[in-house]
Amino acid sequence: MTLQQINYFLILAKELHFWKTAEKIFISQSSLSRHIQSLEEELGVVLFERDKRNVKLTNAGKFLQEQWTIKLKEFDQIHRQAKKIEEGEFGVVSITYPGSISYKFLPNFLEVLNSNLPDLKLELTEPTDENHEKLLLDYRTDIAFSRDQLKNPSIESLKLYSEPICLAVPKDHWFVQQKSRDISKLKNEKFLISGLHQTTFFGSLLRELFIKYDFEPITTIESDFGGMIVNLVAKKIGISILPYSYKFSNTKDVKFIELDEKIDLYINWRKGELNKTIHKVVEFAVLINK
């Protein structure tokens, strides 16, 4: 059984037509039939039900189609990672990050990388589900910035800094004049926040915050896109609670009021990483916070 045979099988499983598949992979129909027959004999299972007009997958074929599709994607990810290691600082490093660092830390960080590793290509992604751990272990990202420490034995996690959580309100909001930072006074206000039902780190932090102040917020808009929320606060559609980093968005007409709670930023990468460039990138991230 070879990767080529598996690829032929997956294309045929999608096309369900021997002639079209053979044409697509640039081999003869008889040669394709021999490859599939050889694969079936080696596995000891029938993959396709055939007659003169139709081709369809057996249940065993459907199972292998699903499993081999997943495994070949993993194989491709590992292959791409090996190429990155070989290419070193002339290769590509994938980075995932929370949107809150887009206004100060991330631009400063990218400026340093551009100065010190000018030939390095970066792939930046802001994942909406914040599942940085899975992205790292699946080789879909090389470095993950996260608000929580990834506690996995296969991942290195280092705290870069802490910052306050802020109440974001229109600049002429009545709460700006309050000496107290007791947010329970805001129980009748409309909030624009991440969904409290979500399992993300920031969603959990907000739940604990509202439990602490003993009220459930009136939520009119739920979103994980802080940049949009800040703009909506400026339009007086509601108020929000966000990391201090959003203050650097310099959105007019928004006042950021620091609360007692803090939030961290961690940099995470795979333990035992062989790509030396990734270690360099981590070093620069640490350096700009000193």
Q: What is the pLDDT of residues 253-264, one digit of tens each?
A: 999 999 999 999
Whether residues 8 and 123 share a domain: the answer is no
pLDDT given at position 237: 96
pLDDT the model gives residue 274 = 83
- pLDDT tens for each residue of 270-279: 999 888 889 9
Query: Looking at the structure, do residues 104 and 18 belong to the same domain, yes or no?
Result: no
Instruction: Say if residue 107's pLDDT is above 60.
Output: yes
Same domain, 96 and 50: no
User: Could you tell me the residue range of the domain that residue 189 belongs to?
Assistant: 162-262
Residues 154 and 272 in one domain: yes
CATH of the domain at 244: 3.40.190.10
Total structural domains within the chain: 3
Indicate whether 25 pLDDT > 90: no
In this predicted structure, what is the pLDDT of residue 2? Answer: 86
pLDDT tier at 129, thresholds 50, 70, 90: low
In terms of domains, do 253 and 185 share one?
yes
Q: Are residues 179 and 251 in the same domain?
A: yes
Question: Are 144 and 271 members of one domain?
Answer: yes
Q: What is the pLDDT of residue 256?
A: 96
CB count in 10 Å sphere of residue 82: 13
Instruction: Pick the last residue of a domain from 77, 108, 142.
Output: 77
Do 111 and 92 belong to one domain? yes
Would you say residue 88 has pLDDT above 70?
Answer: no
* 55 and 189 inside one domain: no
271 shares its domain with 155: yes
125, 173: one domain: no
